[in-house]
Amino acid sequence: MLTLCLDGDFNSLSIVQRKDGNFQRVFFKREALLPISLYRYGEAARHAGANALARFNHRPRITAFLRRTNRKAKCFRAAFADGEQEDRLAGIAAEFLRLQVAAGASAVQLFDSWVGALPAADYVRYVQPHSAKVLAAVADLGVPRIHFGVGTGELLGLMGEAGADVVGVDFRVPLDEAARRVGPGKALQGNLDPAVAFAPWDAVEQRVCQVLADAAGLEGHLFNLGHGVLPGTDPDVLSRIVSLVHEGSLLCAPPQ
């Protein structure tokens, strides 16, 4: 991903839509038509969080940034101290999620893949307001709003407070404990360890059924992996997991 760390650099970002066969593609561009990033609809939803977009924008050079110039330090401070860049990115993310619904999406997910690196106080100060802005911007569309991050066990309740209808839980936190942290009024998404898909089928089946059993008492549950699909995962195993989830009440033995 290209990084241009200039003063006011994010102010010229905009979304450009382009048809590509049967796919709708979205470009983030500057006024100078210099691409920032390109995602397909399904991919961009996973990184729609303003915090994640800002961090991805800096990540390819973050080590050099730590060693080099005060100019890059100024850019980093602008992104994570005064929130100007995140606020701009939150607006872009909100527009992007609205485009997904207009294209037929029946739910949207705000995936902030870096947010688990923050303590709760920093999340509340630097990230939650921007996530809340994105989620509020799609509240009128009548679709479920899912909010997910990796390593966010200590932030689950705060992420729900940002405006999510469904809080994603990664594989590190049991669903019953996640429900306690999130509190009433929210559904949960998750949380099969994606590495389980590499195990023999008997082990996969056991773990899927355990997730379903753990979710039995929740106010609402959306089965999913507790992070993304790992490279090399057999698609047939994923198809069998989907079928098992759909027929879980018939195929899973009652929990002992």
210: in domain: yes
Residues in the chain: 256
Q: Please tell me the distance from the alpha carbon of residue 6 to that of residue 79, in angstroms, as a whole number.
A: 11
Question: Residue 201: left (phi > 0), alpha (psi -120 to 50), or beta?
Answer: alpha
Q: What's the pLDDT score for residue 138?
A: 94
- Per-residue confidence in pLDDT tens, the chain, 256 aa: 223 333 344 555 555 555 554 444 444 444 433 333 333 333 333 345 555 545 444 444 444 434 443 444 554 455 555 567 778 888 888 988 998 888 888 999 998 877 888 899 989 988 899 999 999 999 999 999 999 998 999 999 999 999 999 999 999 999 999 999 999 999 999 899 999 999 999 999 999 999 999 998 899 999 999 888 899 999 999 999 999 998 876 778 665 5
221: in domain: yes
Q: What's the pLDDT score for residue 143?
A: 92
65: in domain: no
User: Total structural domains in the chain?
Assistant: 1
Cβ atoms of 146 and 187 within 8 Å: the answer is no
41: in domain: no
81: in domain: no
Domain of residue 175, residue span: 169-256
225: in domain: yes
Q: What's the pLDDT score for residue 14?
A: 55
126: in domain: no
208: in domain: yes
